[in-house]
């Protein structure tokens, strides 16, 4: 198999990024996470295929797809699964944020847990 040209590689990366955004949005809708403003970036990530940064207070998420995977990682790349994985991080983000706070009341943990349970209730048939 011959290596891709720069143009072919760029087109493949563009298709991967478009698929990533489409899949993330699908799961965002399915998980009922429509209250978040989501921004997408396609840029170099040092340690992952993709990631999500959540500003819970502002209800903003930035979802990034790695634009330059090392060759040894390329066989393990699964764009659609990575998008779903990051959407799941958004789903549990509030609960994770609350769990990391040193001074948090049980009411806040309970509310975040209930929010997640109601969403999962709709998802699991």
Is 110 domain-assigned? Answer: yes
Greater model confidence, 13 or 60: 60
Residue 18: both structure tokens together: 């478009």
Sorting pLDDT into bands at 50, 70 and 90, what band is 1? low
Is 78 domain-assigned? Answer: yes
* pTM listed for this prediction: 0.79
pLDDT attached to residue 27: 95
Is 62 domain-assigned? Answer: yes
Is 93 domain-assigned? Answer: yes
> Alpha-carbon distance 41 to 66, whole Å?
9
CATH code: domain of residue 55 = 3.30.2010
Half-sphere exposure of 37 (CA within 13 A, CB side): 5
pLDDT attached to residue 121: 79
Average pLDDT over residues 25-46: 95
Is 29 domain-assigned? Answer: yes
Residue 77: both structure tokens together: 């790349």
Is 84 domain-assigned? Answer: yes
Name the residue range of residue 108's domain. Answer: 6-123
Is 1 domain-assigned? Answer: no
pLDDT in tens, 65-101: 998 876 666 666 789 999 999 999 999 888 888 777 7
Number of domains in the chain: 1
> Alpha-carbon distance 14 to 5, whole Å?
14
Q: At which residue do the structure tokens 């990051």 appear?
A: 86
Is 20 domain-assigned? Answer: yes
β-bridge pairing 50-55 and 37-43: unpaired
């Amino acid at each position: 198999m011959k290596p891709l040209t720069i143009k072919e590689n760029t087109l493949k990366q563009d298709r991967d990024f478009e698929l990533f955004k489409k899949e993330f949005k699908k799961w965002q809708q399915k998980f009922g996470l429509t209250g978040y403003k989501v921004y997408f970036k396609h840029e170099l990530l040092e340690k992952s295929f993709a990631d999500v940064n959540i500003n819970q207070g502002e209800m903003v998420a930035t979802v990034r797809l790695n634009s330059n995977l090392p060759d040894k990682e390329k066989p393990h790349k699964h764009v659609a699964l990575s998008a779903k994985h990051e959407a799941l991080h958004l789903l549990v983000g509030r609960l994770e944020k609350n769990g990391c706070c040193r001074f948090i009341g049980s009411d806040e943990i309970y509310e975040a847990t209930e929010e997640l349970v109601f969403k999962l209730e709709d998802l699991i048939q």
